[in-house]
Amino acid sequence: MSAVSPMTEATTEALPSTMQAIVAREPGDASVLVLAERPVPQPRPGEVLLRVLAAGINRPDIMQRQGIAKPAPGVTDVLGLEVCGEVVACGPGVDTALRGTRRMALVPGGGYAPWCVAAVDHSFAVPARLTDAEAAALPEGLFTVWHNLFELGRLTMGETVLIHGVTGGIGSLAVQMAHAAGCTVIATASDEACFAELKAMGADLAICWPTTDFVQACLDFTGGRGVDVVLDIVGGDYVRRNLQAMAFGGRHVSLSFMQGSAVTVELLTLMQRQLSLHSSTMRPQTHAEKTRMAQAIARHVLPLLASGRIAPRLHARLPLAQAAQAHTLLESGQVFGKLVLEP
């Protein structure tokens, strides 16, 4: 039997001292994911301890499992970057009125577990209309889309954006957020079966990239002008092609590089057409930067979630113990929306 941690002023229940959480026993494929015993984390100043109700799965989790990306020093080896949970304890400096409330949070790790700590500054009250699974599917996407599309990409009302990878959790959220911002949205996907739903989300044009030249389709749709912003997850030769589809002064934002991180760019093209390249990852952002983003998201995006104008699309919910199966499914490329783990 696990030892029980003593009750404290910040705790509403006696908690076990250890828990079973998902870690990668070594770098490798999904089979290296195992349940392992880890300490139940304790909230530090500015943090809350969440009883995890659901945890979202993201490609950075896969990169961590593969050994490509590693947690920052001092961060748990338990996977998981976004959760929805009930606040069961508050660290020093956190209003204890939060106890018993639902929060959705971006975390540096630890989500694939029954308990997880989160910085209160990087969390949001869950809108009442959202289920636990829906709330867990949002934080990574909210921070990523807001920062990359609207801050780095400077997408504004009336502009046109090309979004690749729209069947993923981030892509499908980006379509909705761009549409809500009053932008024209061009989306690429491999299966026309999802086009009707993409258009319901706000896509003005859906392109089947295996059968259609997306560059020519973008130019035709915009009357030869091109798109103002590209949100890309493909990398490789797609970057060159994306630049061909862009308007004068366009901004290219890279989120990932499924076809490779090494690209060749003609600088003269950038100079003559005043194009710019941007990219970012969320994990290295400072606490202050994430706090600033969270405040902007709370102002501009949370009301859209509360009203239902934006909503995550869930592909499947799986038990925590099936994390390996969930990773395999995500890597198959057959996922439309988000995968969520539930303890």
Pairing of strands 276-279, 246-254: parallel
Give the chain's mean pLDDT.
Answer: 94
Residues β-bridged to residue 231: 163, 253
Mind listing the pLDDT tens digit for each residue in 75-93? 999 999 999 999 999 999 9
Query: 121 burial class (0-12, 13-18, 19+ CB within 10 angstroms)?
Result: middle
pLDDT confidence tier of residue 240, bands split at 50, 70 and 90: very high
What confidence tier does 62 reach under pLDDT thresholds 50, 70, 90?
Answer: very high
Q: For residue 16, give the nearest of 113, 94, 84 by alpha carbon.
A: 113
Q: Who's near 169: CB < 8 A, 6+ residues apart?
A: 56, 58, 137, 140, 141, 312, 313, 337, 338
The Cα–Cα gap between 62 and 29 comes to 9
**Alpha-carbon 4 to chain mean position:** 34
Task: Dump the DSSP string for 60-113.
Answer: HHHHHHHTSS-PPTTS-S---SEEEEEEEEE-TTS-GGGTT-EEEEE-SS--SS
pLDDT band of residue 13 (cuts 50, 70, 90) is low
Pick from 110, 178, 191, 195: nearest CA to 141: 178
Confidence (pLDDT) at 264: 85
The pLDDT tens digits for 250-271 are 999 999 887 778 888 889 999 9
The pLDDT of residue 179 is above 50:
yes
Q: Which helix (H) or strand (E) holds 180?
A: helix 169-180
Q: How far apart are CA 220 and CA 328, in angstroms?
A: 38
Q: How does residue 55 score in pLDDT terms, banded at 50, 70 and 90?
A: very high
Q: What pLDDT shows up at residue 288? A: 97
Query: Directed axis angle between helix 59-66 and helix 323-331, to 10°?
Result: 110
Q: What is the pLDDT of residue 266?
A: 87
Percent of the chain's residues with pLDDT above 90: 87
How large a percentage of the chain has pLDDT more than 70? 96
| Model-wide pTM > 0.95 | no
Locate 109 and state its tokens.
């790790």
Residue 343: per-residue pLDDT:
87
Pair 223, 196: CB distance under 8 Å = no
